[in-house]
Chain A
Amino acid sequence: MAACKRVQQWNTFGRVWHLYDATWQNPFQSAQKIVKYLKGLHKPIYHPLNDCGDHVVVINSKDIALPGDEWRQRVYFHHTGYPGGATWTLAWQLHDKDPTMILKKAIYTAMDGNLQRRYTMQRLHIYPDDNIPEKIKQNITNQIRPLRPVPKRLDHYAPEEVEQFPKVMDWPKDYILR
């Protein structure tokens, strides 16, 4: 095999490590996107019997965002198998206990339930903040684009920027400022 062909072979079948920043991202919409990278669906050589999935490193999973009142409405069910062993945990309670669990479960349920699922999940690395082990950090070569922009808080703008932003309203002249 010629040298360039050999390099092409390595590049085609080598595992790529992707980084995903989950700050202010919906975990359930992100899961649909991350699963594609984990399974290798984004590659032209994809086949279910072809082991071509990539690694995905998710950081800042404690800063995920849920829409509306879903922190209170979403419920995680667990049954120990014994009578009276059913528990219902709200999303915010689960996130309090383990800030990676909601994202992990979202990605797990976004995949088909086949024998490959457990092995595909082994290629997923979730971290609650941006402290990644150095061994994992040095593998990362790509970043997955976030789904929604991260909103900026008003107190994080510079005071001049807030003051000089174009104003759509001015107070009437007899208004008492407070």
Chain B
Amino acid sequence: MFGALRIWQRCVSRSVSLCVPRMNLHLSCTKMLKEIRETQEGNVRVFEGVNVPSPREPYVVKTEDPRGCCTICSLGLDVKHTDVLILSQYLRSDGCMLPRRITGLCRKQQKRISYMVAMAQKAGLMPNIGPPGSKKDPKRRFKWKKFNTYFDESTIRDLKSIVEVRKKRAAELE
């Protein structure tokens, strides 16, 4: 049953890698993003979608994984909730987690990262990425929220199930 599941996962991740040009498979010449700009000229307000080159293009880490894993799995990264430089890459400017079709993560990593984003936001480690009305200074929050809080990544429920599956597999091999 696990074998079938793995093959299915592989197919899914491959199809994702074909439609998302993050796996070094570039059909277009350069990566262009769209940005919506708003200009006011007298009584006329103009909204236009402009193509802009991606600012991340020169810094993207190249992953060459034959199985077509997601970036975090194939790099073997052990991300913690204090790694705000990594977590902030998966966020919109209002602090929302991007969906899976844009992040290109596998199901487990998407769940794990979104949990850790919530942890980092509760700990006040990313106060500059948030909705416009949010409090920028975590020390001015309400009641208990103004005090420093840290989290344990082993409390993320999905991780436990991964460990259990690994233990079961190891027991079967022995």
Contact = CB atoms under 8 A, between A and B. Distances in A.
Nearest to A64: B148
B124 interface: yes
Contacts of B8: none
B59 A92 contact: no
Chain A interface bracket (under 10, 10 to 19, 20 to 34, 35 or more): 35 or more
A50 to B, nearest CB: 37
B123 interface: yes
B3 to A, nearest CB: 29
Chain B interface bracket (under 10, 10 to 19, 20 to 34, 35 or more): 35 or more
B111 to A, nearest CB: 16
Interface string A140-175: 000000001101111101000111111111111111
Contact of B52 (A66, A152, A168, A177): A177
B134 interface: no
A108 interface: no
A173 B32 contact: yes
Contact of B71 (A26, A91, A169, A174): A169
A47 interface: no
Contacts of B93: 178
B86 A168 contact: yes
Contacts of B129: 154
B59 A165 contact: yes
A173 B31 CA distance: 5
Given A165-B85, A170-B54, A171-B56, 11 more contacts: A66-B147, A71-B147, A92-B144, A92-B147, A151-B84, A152-B84, A153-B84, A170-B22, A173-B21, A175-B33, A177-B34
Contacts of B128: 154-155
A175 B123 CA distance: 30
In the complex, the 7 A-B pairs of residues with the closest C-beta atoms, listed nearest first: A92-B144, A65-B148, A71-B144, A151-B82, A155-B128, A154-B84, A167-B56
Nearest to B84: A154
29 contacts: A26-B150, A64-B148, A65-B149, A67-B149, A67-B152, A68-B149, A92-B144, A151-B84, A151-B123, A154-B88, A154-B128, A154-B129, A155-B126, A166-B59, A167-B60, A168-B75, A169-B60, A169-B103, A169-B104, A171-B31, A171-B33, A171-B54, A171-B102, A173-B31, A176-B33, A177-B33, A178-B36, A178-B93, A178-B94
B88 A95 contact: no
Given A66-B149, A176-B33, A72 B144 contact: yes
Interface of A: 24, 26, 63-68, 71-72, 90-92, 95, 148-149, 151-155, 157, 161-178
Contacts of B21: 172-173
Contact of B77 (A63, A66, A168, A174): A168
Contacts of B39: none
Contacts of B90: 169
Nearest to B61: A166
Q: Pick the most buried of B31, B77, B85: most chain A CB atoms within 10 A of its CB.
A: B85
Q: Pick the most buried of B52, B75, B125: most chain A CB atoms within 10 A of its CB.
A: B125
